[in-house]
């Protein structure tokens, strides 16, 4: 990450002719107060980092087949616990001989997402259509089965990282368009449509996600005619998607507000319809303004997927929690080990997304400034 | 705020004849269609629910609120016993939610401002540490934070028998942090009155000092006087009234201490998790707000001879606040809503007590969930109103 | 600045109003006053939906069975998601009776807190989740309990070195339990009636409660005695803990179905009774084929060789044969899941047949 001064511009890279001593004097010990702060920070680091490294690496148990290897004093993290349950953490209870299907979905998704994220990769349009339309269909068929030659796997057997990714990606794919529509509706000149959108957005933003998931997961059939009962995971997906689309709508609205009305008026003056003016002129500019906000909503959604564990769907965190009560791996440091592992997985995904958004933001900013 | 952009051209063409090409007709038709769709949907769900409830013979109505709850709650801010009604259990849960939210908001805002300012420190180590804090904390799900902190809070603490005793009267064990409880005697009213008076006087003093500074430019150490006033006046009254309260210390029972004031580990873990998580977001908001204040402002302040801290307090932050308040509001709202995750670590908040135990015992899911959602919606509304009011007050007055 | 503020107020007012719309009665009746105990329909004679559930289950092709999120001996999944336990087996027997295939059942793990809503809403067809049969659940919640699969009672688990011998010794202590269960209420009754104080910490899942107990957050963990033996296996050091002899409540655990479909209720009730009668008559999954040739009229009626008992509830005549073949008789089910040969090691006790000193007594098939 580039260092920033108060103006937010990246500083020129440090010249090698500044000696480390000079650099330290300038950046760490410029005054008595600063020196004290630096020493204080070093003390904090000394308190926190060595025990953490000791627990996770130096004193940790790395190999073994049973819980006995992790018992005993002065033993750190019990990594064999993670290795032994890795399959569950990733696939949940997906039938063992069908796991290749999940792997194919993961591999396909990876192969489609990576080029989509690299700005210079070719065939962007096809890539995106594949990612947003064809890929979800392939993934659905492969994961759920229910086609000739594929054994159906009910969603109650899905779990772990698979569920986390399914919930998060569906939420992302659904919430962006829905959020845009809601944001446009909220800025519409038609009072009825505006009111409906405002009520919708404020309702979803005002209630906690766990009550939404509770409604979706156990109460929804009360509101549906008898016998009509969509899949439980699907209902939670819808709940998560609606919830995050309300947040997305507010982010997009911020972007729309930043676009001068003249842009829209000029577009209409050239004979474009409302949707053309919005789609071709206003939205591309507005969305570009709020890329960080959009990605933050995605990150929030990704983290919120953990809440499905409260309604009995075993996502990654749910599987990790479930594992903690497995008698064959009850060790005193088991919980800490498992939590650190889960935290690391979530962190990698979320940090990756935020770094990518920083990268895109900088890229778009430079292209605008040129 | 700008009105919808489509507004003007509708007006401009409103003279067109009635028909599909008339924008007003079209607009009317669209709106009618959306409204009808919404009404039909809501009606459909309501009717189906009613039919299902009848078919399934489930009790309905709010009468259950008067029935005896019959279960215990571990933290009650108002008197509550097993004989109390469900309505009282509801208020116990609501207050537990509110106290966690308010304390969390205060701590998260303070810590967030600190982190935001530290991220911009010219001390390289501090800035990097603050950045690392933000990147670690905000990229880990809150639920995991809570599990982790609950675990981290409980793990190192000893049982009640080996309680830590850092200060006389203060005990720390895995049943919580036990403090002496203040017990008020007569003469309390004088003490409280003195306290209120001191605060009111102090506020008046600050206004007077501001006005004088505006008019004459003379500085008056209003905040210091304020602090002195708030300490000295009640203290005097306290002495005069003859120490109108004493402390009740916890006593060791068979397992645990009884009496005193107690912070539950669940409460501490929840506040800790909410604070540390939300502070990371607030830190980023504060940083962005400060960065938005032009460099010239800082230079101008420096050229006037203001110290760095003073510049930050009097020049940068007041301007940055305008950018900070709106996103800060949504973080505060998020924190309030996120406090509902308390149910995962057994803290008896509204969702745990009311949408959990009460719902389960009465089976009246629709009523209970409707009340719960309405409470959170109301809290959202109130917070938004308060913050909007504050934001309007500090908004840039364009001349 | 005026606009969004007003919009927000209006929005939320309408939102709250909209919520009101969802309420299943006339909101104005609230103003009118007494709505206490209003039951939505005229008593039990709900609009005839008899047979509805069976038809729906058949159309769907599998049974939706609400189970616990993991209680060894009653319903707990292994790593591959295969459920075992008495409650899970009962659902298998029911699926076998309906579909002649015990695998046509999907288990829906539910927390104690969510289970009733899930059954009310139709999310599951049957709740087979160590649920205590109480009057309020049977009447106000809109359920019917079909029998008792396990006679249980609430007790406590404590640390051996804590010097606790009876439940009374727990006065003043902190007790961990699961949210939304009868145990929360029994605790209140027990301690209140003796004028003793206690603190209860209710967790959303019983696994979380046991972990908190294990870490020393509570002095005792309470649930049904059978659950205590099951949960004890999950402790870091099971041998350092013991279950008190005190039983402070009656906990008849059994499957429940929604009210309003007598046929479905009958199917569930008589599947359970068939398993009990099978044990009484000595019919096991092992000797089933020989028993089909038996001359004993009671066996013949049970196994569908005589009479048309299955047809009366919409099933095939040999429904009980399939149920027994799937999970064995009640005794086999008990011994396989919680019996003395299992890690739980529970004796039959109250759950022995009435002929052997217990209270399991099934009405005859006749």
- CATH classification at residue B282: 1.10.3720.10
pLDDT tens profile A59-89: 888 888 888 888 877 888 889 989 988 988 9
Provide the strand spans (E) within A114-157.
none
- Rounded to an integer, the average pLDDT of C69-78 is 87
Tokens 């009656």, residue?
A: C250
Structure tokens at C150: 């396990």
Q: Identify the CATH number of the domain defined by range C154-249.
A: 3.40.190.10
d(CA B289, CA B324): 5
Beta carbons of C207 and C234 less than 8 angstroms apart: yes
Subunits next to B (3 or more Cβ pairs <8 Å) are: A, C
Confidence band for C163, pLDDT divided at 50, 70 and 90: confident
Asked if residue B174 is part of any domain, the answer here is no
Residues of C in contact with A222 (CB under 8 A): 120-122
Please answer yes or no on whether C122 and A195 come within 8 Å at the CB atom: no
**Rounded to whole angstroms, what are the CA distances from C354 to C146, C153, C276, C349?**
18, 19, 10, 11
Percentage of chain C beyond pLDDT 70 is 86
Given a cut of 50, whether residue C81 has pLDDT beyond it is: yes
pLDDT tens, residue by residue, B98-120? 999 999 999 999 999 999 989 98
Residues contacting residue A350 through CB under 8 Å, at least 6 positions apart: A299, A302, A303, B138, B139, B140
Please, are residues C333 and C86 in contact by the beta-carbon 8 Å criterion? yes
Query: Using one digit for the tens of pLDDT, what is the confidence trace for A148-202?
Result: 777 888 887 888 999 999 999 888 888 999 999 999 998 888 888 999 998 999 8
Contact A85, A323 (CB under 8 A): yes
Place of tokens 């603190």: C199
* pLDDT of C18 over the 50 cut: no
Whole-model pTM: value is: 0.83
Rounded Cα–Cα distance for residues A286 and A295 (Å): 14
C contact test, residue of A313, A325, A334 with most C CBs within 10 A:
A325
Write out residues 6-25 of A within 8 Å (CB-CB) of B. 6-8
User: Tokens for B333?
Assistant: 């709202």
- Pairwise pLDDT comparison (B104 vs B263), residue with the higher score: B104
**Subunits with at least 3 CB pairs below 8 A relative to chain A?**
B, C
Q: What percent of chain A has pLDDT over 70?
A: 93
Higher pLDDT, A348 or C44: A348
Helix axes A191-206, A232-257, angle to 10 degrees: 120
- At residue A53, the 3 state secondary structure works out as helix
Mean local confidence (pLDDT), C306-316: 89
Chain A positions in Cβ-Cβ contact with residue B124 (cut-off 8 Å): 27-28
Of B3, B5, B101, B137, which to mutate for an interface test with A (greatest number of A Cβ within 10 Å)? B5
Task: Please report the pLDDT score of residue C40 as a whole number.
Answer: 37
Instruction: Residue A294: name the closest of A364, A348, A191, A370 by CA.
Output: A364
In a domain, B173, yes or no: no
Across the range A281-285, mean pLDDT stands at 88
> Is the CB of B35 less than 8 angstroms away from the CB of A189?
no
Q: Is residue B373 part of a domain?
A: yes
Residues C312, C51: Cα–Cα separation, whole Å = 11
Tell me the count of B-C CB pairs closer than 8 A: 218
Chains in touch with C (3+ beta-carbon pairs under 8 Å) read: A, B
Please indicate whether, in this complex, the C-beta atoms of B147 and A264 are within 8 angstroms of each other: no
Assign B339 a pLDDT band (cuts: 50, 70, 90): very high
Band (pLDDT 50/70/90 cuts) for residue C38 is very low
What gap in Å lies between CA B286 and CA B387, rounded to an integer?
16
Counted domains in chain B = 1
Contact B71 C216 (CB under 8 A): no
pLDDT in tens, A232-269: 888 888 899 999 999 999 889 888 888 888 888 899 89
Chain A segment 138-197 residues within 8 A of B by beta carbon are: 187-194, 196
| C-alpha C37, offset from chain centre | 25
Q: How far apart are CA A36 and CA B123, in angstroms?
A: 11
Q: Domain limits at B323?
A: 86-156+265-394
Q: Measure in Å the smallest separation between the Cα of B278 and chain C Cα atoms.
A: 24
Within the 120-179 window of chain C, which residues sit less than 8 Å (CB to CB) from chain B? 120-122, 136-137, 140-142, 162, 169-174, 176, 179
Contacts of B15 (CB under 8 A, 6+ apart): none
**Interchain pair C217, B46: CB under 8 A:** no
Residue A368 binned pLDDT confidence (cut-offs 50, 70, 90): low
Interface touch A312/C121, C-beta < 8 Å: no
Whether C60 has a pLDDT exceeding 60, the answer reads yes
Q: What is the DSSP letter of B242?
A: T
Tell me how far apart the alpha carbons of residues A339 and A324 are, in angstroms, rounded to a whole number. Answer: 10
**Which residues of chain A from 56 to 75 reach within 8 Å of chain B, CB to CB?**
none
> Among residues B186, A40, A159, which one has the least CA distance to residue C69?
A159
Of A63-77, B127-141, C82-96, the one with minimum mean pLDDT is A63-77
Beta-carbon separation of B141 and A211 below 8 A = no
Q: Report the pLDDT value the prediction gives residue C8, as an integer from 0 to 100.
A: 47
**Contact call for A189 and B136, based on CB within 8 A:** no
Write out chain B residues lying below 8 Å of C30, CB-based.
62
Per-residue three-class SS string for B152-208: HHHCCCCCHHHCEEEECCEEEECCEEEECEEEECCCHHHHHHHHHHHHHHHHHHHHH
Structural domains in chain A plus CATH codes: 20-58 (no CATH), 79-94+153-369 (1.10.3720.10)
List Cβ neighbours of A202 (8 Å cut-off, separation of 6 or more): A246, B377, B380, C8, C11, C12, C15
To the nearest whole Å, the CA of B193 is away from the closest chain C CA by 36
* CB spacing of A195 vs C14 below 8 angstroms: yes
pLDDT of residue A75: 83
Degrees, nearest 5: CA angle A153-A155-A158: 85
Please tell me the predicted confidence (pLDDT) of residue B242: 67
pLDDT band for position B2 (cuts 50, 70, 90): very low
Residues from chain B contacting residue C169 (CB–CB below 8 Å): 254
What angle (nearest 5°) sits at the alpha carbon of residue C2, between those of residues B31 and B380? 85
| B171 domain-assigned | no
Given a cut of 80, is residue B6 above it in pLDDT? no
- Cα–Cα distance, C330 to C338 (Å, whole number): 12
Pick among C15, C69, C232 to test the A interface (most A CBs inside 10 A): C15
Confidence label for C35 from pLDDT (cuts 50, 70 and 90): very low
CA distance A216 to chain B (A): 12
Residue of chain A whose Cα is closest to the Cα of B129: A41
CB contact under 8 A, C106 and A156: yes
What is the band of C255 on the pLDDT scale with cuts at 50, 70, 90?
A: very high
Query: Of A224-238, A252-266, A282-296, B325-339, which gets the smallest average pLDDT?
Result: A224-238
Contact residues, chain C, for A206 at CB < 8 Å: 12, 15
pLDDT class for B16, splitting at 50, 70, 90?
A: low
What is the pLDDT at residue B124?
A: 87
Average pLDDT of the residues in B265-283: 93
Residue B115 covered by a domain: yes
Residue A122: per-residue pLDDT: 80
The answer to whether A185 and A194 are in contact (CB under 8 A) is: yes
Please say if the pLDDT value at position C256 is more than 90. yes
In the block, tokens 């080029």 appear at A115
Q: Is the pLDDT of residue C47 over 60?
A: no
CB pair distance less than 8 Å for B35 and A208: no
Backbone angles phi, psi at A9, to 5 degrees: -85, 145
Q: How far is CA C252 from CA B59, B198, B376, C228, C359, in A?
A: 24, 63, 38, 16, 11
C52-151+253-356: CATH architecture: 3-Layer(aba) Sandwich (3.40)
Instruction: Flag whether pLDDT at B399 surpasses 70.
Output: no
Considering chain C, tell me which residue range(s) the CATH 3.40.190.10 domain(s) occupy: 52-151+253-356, 154-249
Note whether residue B72 is domain-resident: no
- pLDDT-derived band at A13, boundaries 50, 70, 90: low
- The distance between the two most distant Cα atoms of chain B, rounded to a whole number of Å, is 88
User: Which B residues, 255 through 294, put their C-beta within 8 Å of a C-beta on chain C?
Assistant: 255-256, 258, 265-266
Q: What is the mean pLDDT of residues A365-370?
A: 58
In a domain, B279, yes or no: yes
Chain mean pLDDT for chain B: 83
Indicate the SS3 state at residue A212: helix
* CA B382 to chain CA centroid, nearest Å: 11
Mean pLDDT across the stretch C23-51?
A: 39
Token pair recorded at residue A128: 């995106």
* Bridge partners, residue C248, by sequence: none
Residues B351-382 pLDDT 10s = 999 998 898 888 888 889 999 999 999 998 88
C-alpha to C-alpha distance for C45 and C13, rounded to whole angstroms: 38
pLDDT per residue over B141-189, tens digit each?
Answer: 999 999 999 887 787 788 887 888 877 778 888 888 888 877 766 666 7
The residue that leads in pLDDT, A303 or B202, is A303
Q: Which chain C residues have a beta carbon less than 8 Å from that of A156?
A: 81, 106-108
- Structural domain includes residue B199: no
């Amino acid at each position: 990450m580039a260092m920033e001064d108060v103006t937010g511009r990246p500083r020129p890279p440090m010249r090698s002719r500044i000696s480390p001593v000079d650099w330290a004097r300038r950046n760490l010990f410029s005054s008595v107060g600063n020196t004290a702060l630096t020493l204080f920070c070093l003390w904090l680091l000394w308190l926190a980092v060595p025990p953490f490294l000791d627990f996770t690496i130096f004193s940790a148990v790395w190999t073994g087949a049973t819980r006995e290897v992790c018992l005993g004093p002065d033993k750190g993290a019990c990594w064999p616990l993670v290795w032994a349950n890795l399959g569950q953490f990733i696939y949940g209870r997906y039938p063992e001989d069908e796991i290749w299907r999940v792997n194919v979905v993961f591999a396909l998704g990876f192969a489609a997402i990576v080029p989509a994220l690299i700005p210079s990769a070719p065939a962007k349009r096809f890539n995106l259509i594949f990612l947003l339309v064809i890929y979800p269909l392939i993934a659905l068929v492969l994961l759920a089965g229910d086609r000739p030659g594929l054994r159906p796997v009910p969603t109650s057997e899905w779990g772990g990282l698979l569920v986390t990714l399914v919930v998060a990606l569906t939420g992302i794919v659904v919430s962006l368009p829905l959020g845009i529509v809601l944001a446009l509706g909220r800025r519409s000149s038609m009072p009825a449509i505006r009111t409906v959108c405002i009520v919708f957005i404020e309702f979803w933003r005002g209630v906690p996600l766990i009550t939404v998931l509770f409604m979706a997961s156990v109460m929804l059939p009360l509101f549906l005619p008898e016998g009509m009962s969509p899949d439980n995971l699907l209902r939670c997906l819808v709940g998560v998607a609606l919830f995050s689309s309300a947040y997305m709508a507010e982010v997009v609205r911020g972007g729309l507000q930043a676009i001068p009305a003249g842009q829209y008026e000029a577009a209409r003056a050239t004979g474009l319809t409302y949707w053309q003016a919005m789609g071709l002129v206003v939205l591309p500019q507005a969305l570009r303004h709020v890329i960080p906000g959009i990605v933050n909503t995605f990150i929030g959604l990704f983290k919120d997927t953990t809440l499905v564990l409260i309604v009995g769907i075993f996502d990654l965190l749910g599987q990790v929690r479930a594992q903690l009560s497995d008698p064959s791996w009850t060790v005193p440091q088991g919980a800490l080990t498992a939590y650190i592992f889960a935290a690391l997985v979530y962190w990698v995904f979320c940090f990756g997304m935020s770094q990518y958004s920083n990268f895109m933001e900088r890229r778009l900013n430079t292209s605008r400034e040129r | 705020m700008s009105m919808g952009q489509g507004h003007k051209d509708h007006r401009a063409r409103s003279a067109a004849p009635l028909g599909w090409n008339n924008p007003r007709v079209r607009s009317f038709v669209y709106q009618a269609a959306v409204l009808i769709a919404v009404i039909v949907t809501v009606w459909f769900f309501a009717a189906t629910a009613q039919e299902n409830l009848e078919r399934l013979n489930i009790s309905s109505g709010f009468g259950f609120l008067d029935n005896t709850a019959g279960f215990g709650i571990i933290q009650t801010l108002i008197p509550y016993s097993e004989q109390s009604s469900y309505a009282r259990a509801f208020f116990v849960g609501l207050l537990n939610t509110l106290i966690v939210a308010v304390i969390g908001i205060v701590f998260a805002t303070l810590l967030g401002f600190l982190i935001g300012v530290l991220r911009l420190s010219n001390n390289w180590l501090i800035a990097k540490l603050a950045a690392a804090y933000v990147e670690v904390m905000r990229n880990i799900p809150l639920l995991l934070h809570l599990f982790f902190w609950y675990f981290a809070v409980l793990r190192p603490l000893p049982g009640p028998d080996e309680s830590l005793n850092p200060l006389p009267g203060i005990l720390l064990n895995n049943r919580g942090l036990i403090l002496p409880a203040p017990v008020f005697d007569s003469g309390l009213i004088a003490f409280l009155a003195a306290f209120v008076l001191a605060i009111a006087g102090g506020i008046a003093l600050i206004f007077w000092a501001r006005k004088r500074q505006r008019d004459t430019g003379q500085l008056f150490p209003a905040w210091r006087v304020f602090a002195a006033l708030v300490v000295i006046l009640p203290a005097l009254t306290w002495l005069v009234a003859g120490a109108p309260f004493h402390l009740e210390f916890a006593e060791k029972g068979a397992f645990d201490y009884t009496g005193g004031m107690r912070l539950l580990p669940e409460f501490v873990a929840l506040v800790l998790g909410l604070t540390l998580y939300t502070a990371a977001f607030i830190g980023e908001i504060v940083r962005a707000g400060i960065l938005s204040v032009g460099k010239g402002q800082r230079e101008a302040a420096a050229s006037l001879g203001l110290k760095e801290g003073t510049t930050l307090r009097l020049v940068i932050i007041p301007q940055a606040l305008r950018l900070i308040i709106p996103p800060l509001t949504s973080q505060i709202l998020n924190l309030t809503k996120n406090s509902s995750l308390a149910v995962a670590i057994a803290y008896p908040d509204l969702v745990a007590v009311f949408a959990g135990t009460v719902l389960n015992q009465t089976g009246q899911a629709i009523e209970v969930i409707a009340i719960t959602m309405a409470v959170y919606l109301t809290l959202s509304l109130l917070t938004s109103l308060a913050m909007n009011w504050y934001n309007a007050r500090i908004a840039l007055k364009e001349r | 600045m005026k606009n969004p503020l007003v919009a927000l107020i209006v929005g939320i007012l309408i939102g709250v109003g909209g919520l009101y719309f969802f309420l299943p009665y006339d909101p104005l009746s609230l103003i009118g006053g007494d709505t206490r105990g209003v039951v939505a329909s005229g008593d039990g004679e709900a609009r005839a939906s008899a047979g509805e559930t069976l038809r729906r289950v058949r159309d769907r092709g599998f049974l939706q069975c609400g189970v616990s999120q993991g209680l060894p001996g009653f319903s707990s999944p292994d790593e591959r998601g295969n459920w075992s336990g008495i409650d899970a087996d009962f659902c298998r027997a029911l699926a076998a009776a309906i579909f002649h295939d015990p695998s046509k059942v999907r288990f829906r793990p539910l927390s104690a807190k969510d289970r009733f809503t899930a059954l009310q809403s139709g999310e599951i067809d049957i709740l087979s989740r160590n649920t205590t049969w109480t009057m309020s659940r049977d009447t106000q919640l809109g359920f019917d309990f079909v029998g008792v699969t396990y006679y249980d009672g609430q007790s406590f688990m404590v640390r051996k070195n804590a010097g606790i011998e009876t439940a009374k010794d727990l006065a003043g202590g902190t007790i961990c339990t699961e949210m939304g269960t009868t145990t929360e209420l029994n605790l209140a009754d027990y301690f209140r009636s003796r004028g003793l104080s206690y603190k209860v910490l209710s967790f959303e899942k019983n696994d979380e409660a046991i972990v908190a107990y294990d870490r020393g957050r509570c002095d005792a963990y309470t649930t049904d005695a059978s659950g205590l033996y099951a949960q004890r296996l999950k402790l870091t050091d099971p041998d350092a803990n013991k279950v008190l002899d005190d039983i402070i409540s009656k906990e008849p655990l059994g499957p429940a179905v929604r009210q309003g479909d007598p046929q479905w209720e009958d199917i569930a009730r008589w599947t359970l009774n068939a398993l009990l009668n099978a044990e009484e008559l000595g019919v096991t999954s092992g000797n089933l084929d020989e028993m089909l040739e038996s001359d004993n009229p009671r066996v013949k009626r049970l196994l569908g060789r005589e009479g048309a008992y299955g047809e009366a509830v919409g099933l095939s005549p040999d429904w009980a044969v399939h149920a027994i073949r799937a999970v064995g008789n009640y005794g086999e089910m008990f011994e396989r899941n919680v019996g003395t040969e299992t890690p739980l090691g529970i004796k039959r006790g109250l759950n022995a047949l009435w002929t052997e000193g217990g209270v399991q007594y099934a009405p005859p098939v006749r």
